[in-house]
Structure 1
Amino acid sequence: MWRRRFTCGLILNILLKKGAVTAVATSSVLFAITHAANALSGQSAADTAIQIVYALLIGLSLALLMVKHRNIIPLILFHFLHNLIQFTSHDVSSLGYNLLIMGLLLAQCIWIVVSMRKSAQTA
């Protein structure tokens, strides 16, 4: 039981009982909401809004990958590396850069959904 929860993610695993769409959407929204707390640290409303949308897209992408592969370790590593790159990079707070990354994340989400549907059709 412990191994199953670890490899599937606690919140997502609980929500999967309601269906994959519900699990992915709810866990992504919860991931985004947790990033809204950054507004309390004095971050501007615009930066917080961008971060919430960004976190929603990352949460969606990671949740889809979790449903597809059932392994949380690559997702933890991705999140760590993503935060490390954001923390150590210079001038990555421009709107153009953020829109580019959000577009790439959205494209990744679409690609994962399409590949999951193709896998389901061939199974």
Structure 2
Amino acid sequence: MAITKNRGRQGVISAYVDILFGDTPTTATAYAAIDLPVGAQVVGGDLVVDTPWATTSTATFSVGDASSATRYLGATSIMSAARTALVPTGFRTTATQPTVNVTYAFTGSAATAGAARLRVDYIVNKRAAFAQG
């Protein structure tokens, strides 16, 4: 049996959101960050901390969804300026979990400064912008 080639092609779509320290005031809380269409598959992206979170102890972000808070990124320190790549898992969004969440956790005092950008690159199952061949 031969492989049936898929002639459909699509570009990778990027979505991003800027996050300020005041947007995530409560620890161990998942905040909805980016809505994706049903059937979307994350193929890349990153979390870039531009202004480190100013707190007295620890501060982390995890990136995931309703089923897995760390699907794309485990607890990552946001207390220094850095870029951390997301880890694609092959998961496709469903009607009950179409949102990429950021879970904020901290110990010590609440942050008084901090800014980051979350970028999610994705493709959508069965979408085609043009055909090849």
- With structure 1 as the length reference, what TM-score do the two structures score? 0.26
Structure with the largest fraction of helix: 1
The answer to which structure has the higher strand fraction is 2
TM-score (norm 2): 0.24
